């Protein structure tokens, strides 16, 4: 069965902190994605990666960076968290196809 896990379901951080969100998939998928989900805005793509050490900006990369050192792991980094980054963060993976498999999400609150 396909499995995408995210390191935390809920996270509370302070403004200015560096935040790491981890995502791991066990399906040997090439592609991995980070989205943020906000009410009324749907899912917006932050970054994606199609191979180890490769990354591409999505629609809203500002304030975020990513790291993919191993095929199964894709990390989202908030260099200096701000209150407008309070959101639900969803990780997904896919093989060489468009069908994506999602993790359970991390609800991040920045105070």
Partner 1 sequence: AQSVTQLGSHVSVSEGALVLLRCNYSSSVPPYLFWYVQYPNQGLQLLLKYTSAATLVKGINGFEAEFKKSETSFHLTKPSAHMSDAAEYFCAVSADSGYALNFGKGTSLLVTP
In whole angstroms, the minimum distance from the beta carbon of 44 to partner 1 comes to 8
Site string for partner 1, 42-61 (x = CB under 8 A): xxxx--x-x-----x-x---
DSSP state at residue 27:
S
Give, as ranges, the residues between 3 and 22 that touch partner 1 (CB under 8 A). Answer: 4
Taking a C-beta distance cutoff of 8 angstroms, is the pair 41, 106 a contact? no
Is residue 87 near partner 1 by the rule CB under 8 A? Answer: no
Taking a C-beta distance cutoff of 8 angstroms, is the pair 92, 100 a contact? yes
CA separation, residue 72 to residues 46, 52, 58 (Å): 18, 9, 20
Binding residues for partner 1, per CB under 8 A? 4, 31, 33, 35, 40-45, 48, 50, 56, 58, 90, 92, 94, 96-105
């Amino acid at each position: 069965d396909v499995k995408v896990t995210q390191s935390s379901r809920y996270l509370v951080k302070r403004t200015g902190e560096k935040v790491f969100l981890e995502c791991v998939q066990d399906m040997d998928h090439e592609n991995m994605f980070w989205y943020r989900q906000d009410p009324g805005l749907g899912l917006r793509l932050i970054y994606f990666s199609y191979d180890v050490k490769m990354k591409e900006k999505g629609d809203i990369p500002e304030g975020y960076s990513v790291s993919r050192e191993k095929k199964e792991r894709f990390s989202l980094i908030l260099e200096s968290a701000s209150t407008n980054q309070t959101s639900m963060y969803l990780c997904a993976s896919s093989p060489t196809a468009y069908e994506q498999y999602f993790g359970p999400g991390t609800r991040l609150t920045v105070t």
